[in-house]
Amino acid sequence: MSAYLTAANQLRTVRILSVRDDTPTIKSFLFRDRFAAKALPGQFVMIWIPGVDEVPMSLSTIDSKEGAVAITAEKVGEATSKLHRMKVGDIIGIRGPFGNGYTLTKARNVMIAGGGTGIASLAPLTEKIAKQKGFRITFLLGAKTCGELLFLERMKTVLATMNHRIVVTTEDGSYGIKGLITEPAEQLLAKEKFDMIYACGPEKMMCKMFVLTERFHVPFQASLERLMRCAIGLCGTCVIGKFRVCRDGPVFSGKQLREVRNEFGQFKRGFDSRKIAI
């Protein structure tokens, strides 16, 4: 069946069940949707904000038992500003889940590195890994400043019962180590052998992580963002090299990123296809 005709691609409307202020500019919205509740960590949905636009959002909570999911949106423009004004009981539209999601491997010593709203897609992944035995997770969380650290308490709770380490960086030094998460990542990689590194965040950060994983020969998965319209591989807006991020990604392996090295971390395409520097 074509991607266009799948049940998951049909627009559903859902009521917002709860709204949580995560940081001054980021809010999480919980709702029920039976398709999204079966998503894999790293998959995304298209959220229709009535009267404004339809935008891609990662699933930041996937509760298959309750049939509920959440998105965690930063207020950056028109659609996300309208979303931020919405209240419990308001209606939004949803299509998806789309994309591939992160691949869980038998890797035992795992590093998970997230910056900004990138933590949204990494949180369900961390929860899934934490349910399995025998893993060690090094969780690296970065933000510009203390008030923008997303899901720190949630990750502390999730990881509490397992072998773990949490490293926090802020650019202004208001919490944890002052600087970028790529700095402690490099130090850790120089000392220890990791089996897999997952990353999501600003593309410059993911690109630095990619370079580190190449240098230290560690398998890598990163979730990319590009402008998206159809989300099912038809419109080509989200193209990076030979890949379409909505269909071939949004999660790409280190091997795939090597193939698009001249675009990854360099530029993305605007809705008019013109290059925009990253």
The residue ranges that bind ligand FAD (CB under 6 A) are: 44, 53, 55-58, 72-74, 76-80, 117, 120, 225-228, 250
Looking at the Cβ atoms of 184 and 201, the one nearer to ligand FAD is 201
Report which residue's Cβ sits closest to ligand FAD.
Answer: 77
* Shortest distance (Å) from residue 84 CB to ligand FAD: 9
Taking the C-alpha atoms of residue 11 and residue 14, their distance in angstroms, rounded to an integer, is 10
Taking the C-alpha atoms of residue 270 and residue 257, their distance in angstroms, rounded to an integer, is 20
Looking at the Cβ atoms of 158 and 248, the one nearer to ligand FAD is 248
Q: For the CA atoms of 217, 221, 223, 224, what is the dihedral angle to 10 degrees?
A: 40
* Shortest distance (Å) from residue 14 CB to ligand FAD: 17
Cβ count within 10 A of residue 179: 14
Looking at the Cβ atoms of 60 and 138, the one nearer to ligand FAD is 60
* Shortest distance (Å) from residue 12 CB to ligand FAD: 19
* Shortest distance (Å) from residue 227 CB to ligand FAD: 4
Structure tokens at 178: 């002052």
Looking at the Cβ atoms of 91 and 276, the one nearer to ligand FAD is 276
Provide, for the chain, the percentages of residues in helix, strand and coil under a 3-state DSSP scheme, each rounded to the nearest 5: 25, 35, 40
Residue 234 buriedness (CB in 10 A; 0-12 / 13-18 / 19+): middle
